[in-house]
Amino acid sequence: MKRLFSRLVIISVMFLTLLSCKEKEKKVNKAVSNQNLETYQPGLDWDLVWSDEFETDTIDLNNWNYQVEEAGRFNDEWQRYTNSNENAYIDKNCLVIKAVHESDIHGMDQYTSARMHTANKQAWRYGRIAARMKLPQGEGMWPAFWMLGANIDENGGDTPWPQSGEIDILELYGSKDDGLIEANVHYADASGSHSMMGAAAFKLGNGKFADAFHIFELEWDANRITWFVDGEQFASMSISSDELSEFHKEFFILLNIAVVDANATTKFPQYMYVDWVRVYQKKDQEL
């Protein structure tokens, strides 16, 4: 009887321990998912040449610049771009860009935000540029993950836009659809006038880009630029013609939230969360 009782006790303890481990595993998995961790590998042909995982307490100024601009400087945007840690900071291993409404008035110079870029610090020619991000939402929100030619005069170079070239990895227009992003390319045509690929859209099957993190990628080589969301290709453009020569030079990365035509339907503040940004280049790539 004692032996039977002892066995029952041992079995009960083992059962409770197993349950405890399962509960712990559930809690651990939940904690990990809340940390926004994500394994990502572009493939064995690609070497990681630069990244920012945002695992420090403050923004790494060896990688990033705050671009300070008055409201209306670009595209009649309503926000001021500041260098305040109210508008850009690190939280829980994410870069956070925060758009703030400073008053009850909707209009020019009533908002602040941040425009972060790697000009004169980090730039690349060709590669796979990827970021894991969660985007803001609402009327008037205009977040972007994009690139400009490193020679642009805006940042100390000798070439004006659009001759310097622009690659839009993603733009989201809250006034259109919070579940849709667009890719584009801007350049100067043979006459020197502004030209572009034309917006190419990717729409989620359901939900909004503010609901969860997604991976946005650009693959860029001497022949083509190709865009992906979560591994799914949705746009591609040849860059082999002579008038696209700007896309065979170095580019730097930008991240920002602009505000245009916001109204009372949009709840502020709004946030862009960037889990990581990475640049890969092919092992045999000609640079």
Q: Please list the residues that pair with 46 across neighbouring strands.
A: 282
Structure tokens belonging to residue 192? 């020197």
How many Å apart are CA 229 and CA 214, to the nearest integer? Answer: 7
DSSP annotation of 266: S
Q: Is 190 exposed, middle or buried (0-12, 13-18, 19+ CB in 10 A)?
A: exposed
Q: Is 193 exposed, middle or buried (0-12, 13-18, 19+ CB in 10 A)?
A: exposed
How many Å apart are CA 71 and CA 237, to the nearest integer? Answer: 33
**pLDDT tens digit sequence for 121-171:** 999 999 999 999 999 999 999 999 999 999 999 999 999 999 999 999 999
Is 50 exceeded by the pLDDT of residue 12? no
Is 80 exceeded by the pLDDT of residue 247? yes
How many Å apart are CA 11 and CA 220, to the nearest integer? Answer: 60
Longest dimension (CA), the chain: 98
Question: Does 154 participate in catalysis according to the annotation?
Answer: no
pLDDT for position 65: 98
Structure tokens belonging to residue 53? 């995982």
Where do we find the tokens 């610049």? 65
How many Cα atoms occupy the beta-carbon half-sphere of 88 within 13 Å? 23
**pLDDT tens digit sequence for 164-203:** 999 999 999 999 999 999 999 999 999 999 999 999 999 9
pTM score, whole prediction: 0.86
Q: Please answer whether residues 78 and 262 qualify as being in contact, where contact means their C-beta atoms are separated by less than 8 angstroms.
A: yes
Residue 254: name the closest of 177, 168, 194 by CA.
Answer: 168
Question: Does 86 participate in catalysis according to the annotation?
Answer: no
Q: How many other CB atoms sit within 10 Å of the CB of residue 108?
A: 16
Q: How many helices (H) and strands (E) does the chain have?
A: 1, 18
Pairing of strands 111-113, 79-81: parallel
38-44 long-range contacts, CB within 8 A, separation 24+: 38/132, 38/213, 38/215, 38/275, 40/130, 40/132, 40/215, 40/278, 42/128, 42/130, 42/217, 42/280
pLDDT for position 1: 45
The structural domains of the chain, with segments of one domain joined by +, span 1-34, 42-282
| Residues in CB range of 11: below 8 A, 6 or more apart | none
**Per-residue confidence at 76, pLDDT binned at 50, 70, 90?**
very high
Query: Which of these is catalytic: 77, 139, 171, 217?
Result: 171
Query: Which of these is catalytic: 166, 182, 217, 246?
Result: 166
Q: How far is CA 36 from CA 97, 141, 214, 273, in A?
A: 16, 23, 10, 10
Is 80 exceeded by the pLDDT of residue 7? no
CATH topology classification for 42-282: Jelly Rolls (2.60.120)
pLDDT for position 21: 36
